[in-house]
Amino acid sequence: MTTTISLAPVPSTVFPFTALVGHDTLQLALLLAAIDPGLGGVLISGPRGTAKSTSARALAALLPDAPFVTLPLAASPEQLVGTLSIEDVLRDGQVRLAPGLVARAHGGVLYVDEVNLLPDALVDSLLDVAASGVNTVARDGVSHQHAARFVLVGTMNPEEGELRPQLLDRFGLSVALANPTDPAVRQAIVRARLAFDLDPQAVVAQHAAAQAGLALSITRARAALAGLAWTDEVVQHAAQRALEAGVDGIRADLVMLRAARALAALEQRGSVRVQDLDAVAELALAHRRTENAVAAGPAPASAAAPPPSSAPRLSPAAGQGAAASGQNTAEGDWGALPPEPQSMARVRSTGAWPPKKA
């Protein structure tokens, strides 16, 4: 006897973006990335239960007809970027693309939970596509390109490991969340969540007008981006902020300028101001700041910065290469020990080996 079991549909109601409490900085970063996906995405770090994934899903629900695609930790490179069917090329001369997750996320949000646990090669490929908006699939000398413009949102718990600095730098913006310590804020968060769990439709209806207004603002800001330019004063201020943070390369300058332009477009201003850049600078510099950061500006080129007092002293042999090249390592040569003299003794002869028997 066969028993038929009917499965109940899964509720598709998503927590409204405008109903988030205590996450003003995160909401700003996500909105800027939605306005200009070329920023390179948003990296959200924080402990468990701080609404990291809830915020990402809420952003996707805010965008019109935007897919929400999740990248699993066990995904292969072919699942991420897609693959080409070489058999079809050899048979009929046509290249057929088996699209990957980046193609499905086009126009929406690609969410990566625990991005710090993904293989580095997979993260690198993902960040390449997110920054360029173009995905290139190559196999056996045959390549195919397609548009893949999406908002990349990666989350991580620092307790489970960090991302390499090279990969951190590839994320455009970053936000570090913490457990709320203000009792009033905690109560507001709990009340908002309880109300949504009790009656999701009522909460969605309550925030419908605010959601529609914010979605319209994003659409207008996207259209206004191309008409906004940066003055010399703004570009100079971005360079100064980057130098003060001691960042490597110029990616921080570019991200700050693009984020400031997105903020000006969101607030419907006709020009990018220095205040706009200051408002978004920490989002672009927090995960790029190094120990060479200074408070008052960059040091003169002729003056060499002294090594940190907390860094371990190198032995002459271990530090010779660094001294010759004029480079200063922030962490020092961990594990280096000064040479110790060792006594030597003559090895007594043990005689010749006996001849082999025939």
Q: Is 289 considered catalytic here?
A: no
Catalytic residue among 170, 251, 258, 261: 251
Q: How many CA atoms lie within 13 A of 160 on its CB side?
A: 13
Nearest to 265 by CA among 233, 298, 218: 218
Q: Report H helices in the chain.
A: 24-35, 52-62, 77-81, 86-92, 101-104, 120-132, 165-170, 183-198, 200-206, 208-224, 232-245, 251-266, 274-285, 316-325
Q: Which amino acid is at 62?
A: L
Q: Which amino acid is at 13?
A: T
User: For residues 45 and 51, what is the distance between their CA atoms, to the nearest angstrom?
Assistant: 11
- Using DSSP's 3-state secondary structure scheme, residue 118 falls into coil
**In the numeric block, which tokens belong to residue 227?**
């008409």
User: For residues 310 and 239, what is the distance between their CA atoms, to the nearest angstrom?
Assistant: 29
Q: Is-contact 17 27, C-beta < 8 A?
A: yes
Q: Is-contact 241 284, C-beta < 8 A?
A: no
Q: Which amino acid is at 314?
A: L
Question: Measuring CA to CA, how many Å separate 263 from each of 73, 152, 272?
Answer: 33, 18, 8
User: For residues 223 and 219, what is the distance between their CA atoms, to the nearest angstrom?
Assistant: 6
DSSP single-letter state for residue 289: -
Catalytic residues: 251
